[in-house]
Chain A
Amino acid sequence: MAYVTIDAVLCKGCQLCTLQCPKELLYLSEEYNQSGYNVVKQKEGDECVACKLCAYMCPEAAITVYK
């Protein structure tokens, strides 16, 4: 099982990560962080394969990938 955590403080909601996920597990949530950005979240489930594509694409390096 693999998953990612997205640091809600660092996320600026640019969604570049959401374009990369081959399983389309990332989405822009309705939640705001302290800087006023909508933050990206990962869908519940065990489909993540820790391919790291989202993390490589995140300009803020807000994504940590676990495997």
Chain B
Amino acid sequence: MEIVYKKSSNFIEAGHSFCPGCSHGIAHNIMMDTIDEMGLAEKAILVYPVGCAANAMTYVKPNVVHAPHGRAPAVATGIKRCAPDKFVVLYQGDGDLAAIGMAETIHMANRGEHVTTIYINNTIYGMTGGQMAPTTMMGQITTTTREGRGLHGEGQPIKMCEMISTLGEPKFVARYALDNAKHVIEARKGIKKAFQMQVEDKGYAFIELLSMCPSNWHLSPKDSVKYMEEEVIKTFPLGVYKEEV
């Protein structure tokens, strides 16, 4: 009898500090499993943002830099330029990456820094209690769009993969979902590919992970899966948006 899957040894503590059913846990497990598999723990530097995404920063084994809100891409640029032999991963949520950090995100991608972005899009501000995010969908109810987004000049959801893929330098841009095991397996493959690209110094990769936030969607984890399939994936189509490897 052998173990074919167990929790990554890259976590210092047992257990994640996320709500039940939150996709941050799955995203972290994928990230750490891949780091294990590729033997990157020693080289890895994780750049964490502000928001729920940063909850794990105290209990992962690789070294961590906690960037100011939205500025992870600039911080990562400084790190990678000074330590080009290190493996730098940015882990950012939608508010951090697509609202306050939009300029940094676009410009880092445009410089084609040799780092990997893992972008958690759950269409909402999680840590602050469920306000409208740049990715909130039309008609989606949040604590700051009580009648649904779109009625009072909030604009439409920003689609990052579509935007990033218009730039010249990014080499791999793809969107995956974390709502079922089939999608998770695809996401695992995509993340491994992105990590491999950085190891081989092949340029910038941007991975978007559609994620569930049952607490702020006010749905059970099971209903969140349904919501993801019926609403979120329709707004944010899955797939590889750019591949120049």
Chain A contact residues, CB within 8 Å of chain B: 1, 7, 9-10, 12-16, 19-20, 37, 50, 52-67
A sample of 5 more A-B contacts (CB under 8 A), given A10-B14, A56-B29, A59-B20, is A9-B15, A56-B26, A57-B180, A57-B181, A66-B3
Asked if A66 and B14 make an inter-chain contact with CB atoms under 8 angstroms apart, the answer reads no
Pick the contact of B4: A37, A50, A59 (CB < 8 A).
A50
Residues in B with CB closer than 8 Å to A53 are 181
Q: Please count how many residues in chain B sit with their CB below 8 Å of the partner chain's CB atoms.
A: 31
6 CB-based A-B contacts, threshold 8 Å? A14-B214, A15-B222, A61-B8, A63-B5, A65-B3, A66-B1
Chain B contact residues, CB within 8 Å of chain A: 1-8, 11, 14-16, 18-26, 29, 180-181, 184-185, 188, 214, 221-222, 225
Taking the closest CB of chain A, its distance from the CB of B230, in whole angstroms, is 15
Pick the contact of B222: A12, A19, A56 (CB < 8 A).
A19
Distance of A52 Cα from B11 Cα, bound (Å): 20
A9 touching B14 in the complex, CB below 8 Å, given contacts A16-B225, A19-B225: yes
How many A-B pairs fall under 8 Å by CB?
84
Grouping DSSP codes into helix (H, G, I), strand (E, B) and loop, the B interface class, with mixed when no group exceeds half, is mixed
Residues in A with CB closer than 8 Å to B5 are 52, 55-56, 63-65
CB-nearest residue of chain A to B214: A14
CB-nearest residue of chain B to A3: B1
